[in-house]
Amino acid sequence: MKKILCPLCGEIINVEDDKETIYCPKCFKNLSVEQGQKHLGLFVQKHFNLATSELYEATEYKKAAKDFQKVLDIIPDDFEAAEGLVLSTIMMSTIRSTHIKEAMHELQRYQDTLSISSVAIEKSGIFVKRVNEYLDQYHDVLKHRLMNKDNRFYEVKGEQIFKKVVQEIIDFKMVLIEAYFKSRKLPVKSNVTKEKLNKDIASLQKELTIDYAVESSPFHLLFTDVKECYIPDEVFKDVRKMFKNKTRVVVWNIISILIFLIGIVLIVALPSYLLIGVPITSIGLIMLIIFGSINISIQKKLSR
């Protein structure tokens, strides 16, 4: 059996080897098997090139995963597409949502394609190295985004997310050991060994036992508009400024409330009294107007 692509409707059709023409079951067009194979080859190459660009250049990881999957639906034993699918799925992970477990399932699903053979052993070494680097990168970036310099989490939910990710990374590295180091060794230049992975796992397991402190803060990093994990640190520097200014914000809010209450008291409690010939009610009203405009300006500066 071989596969062809209908150029009219995009239907992928299974054709017996001895057939030269066939009717498309979807649009009923009479197709040349040879032309259908050429169209299918162009379709596969288009989506592979697109997926590669989305993964390594455009950082459109969800789109990359979909395009790699389209290639694998047609050619299940395509090593590069299976590799790209696993890497894209890892990179889809954000601060709030991890796709590590999903990537691990993809690796297991295409294990035969990604397995070590006399031809693919070097490719397998590069693949395992990349997967391990991507897992370590996600761990480090997530830790950097959820914790301050004193290794204190910005909030309780941040600690829960982090430990969940750590456990999933441990599980993934154990799958790598089982799949690639059970009976053979990868090339030395791949720089990944069973001993290194076991050392990584032991280090990650220690992180699960640490009783991390949580910073008491009126701000919540997880509730900002910053969702992606693999974005420039400059974005998060702006978010962290809020934490540095939290004391000033709290003090100013207390002062603001006091000024506001004094203004209300002057207006309501002493409406008929004069101060230097000016009704106290008017003074209180002016205080509220001045306070309101200054407060808005200062709050903007403090939250930058």
Please report the pLDDT score of residue 104 as a whole number. 94
Please report the pLDDT score of residue 232 as a whole number. 47
Please report the pLDDT score of residue 114 as a whole number. 81
Please report the pLDDT score of residue 246 as a whole number. 59
Please report the pLDDT score of residue 234 as a whole number. 45
> Which pTM does this prediction carry?
0.68
Distance CA 29, CA 7 (A): 9
Residue 101: pLDDT over 80: yes
Residue predicted with more confidence, 128 or 222: 128
Please report the pLDDT score of residue 244 as a whole number. 54
pLDDT band at 103 (very low <50, low <70, confident <90, very high): very high
What is the residue extent of each domain of the chain? 1-60, 76-232, 246-302
pLDDT band at 171 (very low <50, low <70, confident <90, very high): very high
Please report the pLDDT score of residue 59 as a whole number. 79
Residue 218: pLDDT over 60: no
Distance CA 302, CA 304 (A): 6
pLDDT tens per residue, range 274-301: 455 455 566 666 666 776 676 666 656 5
Domain 76-232 bears CATH identifier 1.10.357: yes
Average pLDDT, the chain: 78
Q: 166 and 139 in contact (C-beta within 8 Å)?
A: yes
DSSP H/E element including 139: helix 121-146
Please report the pLDDT score of residue 199 as a whole number. 94
DSSP H/E element including 53: helix 33-56
Characterise 76 by phi-psi region: left (phi > 0), alpha (psi -120 to 50), beta (else).
alpha
Mean pLDDT is lowest, of 170-174, 213-217, 227-231, for: 227-231
Residue 150: pLDDT over 50: yes
Residue 139: pLDDT over 70: yes
pLDDT tens per residue, range 187-202: 666 788 888 999 999 9
Residue 208: both structure tokens together: 């699960």
Mean pLDDT is lowest, of 41-50, 92-101, 112-121, 295-304, for: 295-304
